[in-house]
Amino acid sequence: MDVYKKRVELSLEEYVEGVRSNNRAVLARAITLVESNAARHFSMAQDVLTSVIPQTGNSIRIGITGVPGAGKSTFIEAFGLKLAEQGHRVAVLAVDPSSSLSQGSILGDKTRMDQLSRHPNAFVRPSPAGGNLGGVARKTRETLLLCEAAGYDIIMVETVGVGQSEVTVRSMVDCFIVLMLTGAGDELQGMKKGIMEMVDIMLINKADGTNRQAAEQAKVEFKRMFHMLPSVTEGWETEIDTVSALTGRGISECWETIERFHQHMKNTQQFELRRKEQATNWFHSLLEEQILKRFYDYPFIKSQLPDVKKDVLLGKSSATRAVSLLLQEYEQKIYNN
């Protein structure tokens, strides 16, 4: 088995068999392949993915967001350990497009989730390094599929609660959880607008010691708020619970809530629907992202766009005319290439 740790290239069969039998070293290498930006890895990565597709789809996909300081890592570690000890197989991934730039980004610090990482039933993978949201999202989605093929039945995707990445993560999971702090209200101002209306479950974390009472009060206030907001999942009013990742209080109940949510999704046929939407959404976002990238990367566009945009912002041209002229010149270029 040690052969897989060496630097020899694996064959397609070795990758596929290794992933299917949850050989962790092979799984890690397959993910590295998927994350690689090298052209020579692309074809093999897609061969592996296509081969394992029949084994995918059998996990509960959970998105977890929250402002920095809400205790996401601590919660995920405590929650993941509890599930792993119950016999679940738990994978933890992250979407953090800025991780190449910012220090201390989510899951970037190897010492975090230390206990969970070492549990035989768990697999923790940091956010793919660098790149824009689109690239990171593709890599995370494909990693999610590889983990499913390796038999992980619970996949958590972590994201920071401050950017466009929440919409992306929401679009790849079945259940979306936001982690809050006890002091309700103010910290929400730091969150991206619109997140509250994508949430299936809210967990008020750090509900321990002297914080306990404030957390219960916040729960009542958030309950009122969600009662007035439209639900993202039909027939499911956002559930709010208080937890303490520190003492473990409420952690088991989280899983019960997720299971109840999952059952509701299944019973109302929303599960199948959301999975279909996930797939369609993925396909179109991949496609459109590539089309736009190719356009913006085209040398003529790269050189012309800043001036064209400036003219529009200065009121020298209507936006419609500027766009129309730019595209006309662009098409002449590519057709006469």
Least Å distance between CB 334 and a copy of itself? 6
Say how far apart CA 175 and CA 157 lie, in whole Å.
Answer: 10
Least Å distance between CB 228 and a copy of itself? 5
Least Å distance between CB 163 and a copy of itself? 13
Least Å distance between CB 244 and a copy of itself? 22
Question: Looking at this protein, which amino acid is placed at residue 250?
Answer: G
Ranges within 51-80 binding a copy of itself (CB under 8 A): 53-54, 56
The residue within the footprint of a copy of itself, chosen from 197, 253, 272, 329 (CB under 8 A), is 197
Per CB under 8 A, the segment of 107-115, 207-215, 241-249, 287-295 that binds a copy of itself is: 287-295
231 contacts a copy of itself (rule: CB under 8 A): yes
| Closer CB to a copy of itself, 113 or 240, in the complex | 240
222 contacts a copy of itself (rule: CB under 8 A): yes
Cα-based distances in Å from 94 to 143, 190, 231 = 10, 20, 25
Per CB under 8 A, the segment of 99-107, 243-251, 265-273, 312-320 that binds a copy of itself is: 312-320
313 contacts a copy of itself (rule: CB under 8 A): yes
| Closer CB to a copy of itself, 101 or 228, in the complex | 228
Per CB under 8 A, the segment of 82-90, 99-107, 256-264, 315-323 that binds a copy of itself is: 315-323
Say how far apart CA 118 and CA 108 lie, in whole Å.
Answer: 16
286 contacts a copy of itself (rule: CB under 8 A): yes
288 contacts a copy of itself (rule: CB under 8 A): yes
260 contacts a copy of itself (rule: CB under 8 A): no
| Closer CB to a copy of itself, 115 or 269, in the complex | 269
Binding stretches for a copy of itself (CB under 8 A):
42, 46, 49-50, 53-54, 56, 138, 142, 184-185, 188-194, 196-198, 221-222, 224-225, 227-232, 276, 279-280, 282-283, 286-288, 290-292, 294-295, 309, 312-313, 315-324, 326-327, 331, 334-335, 337
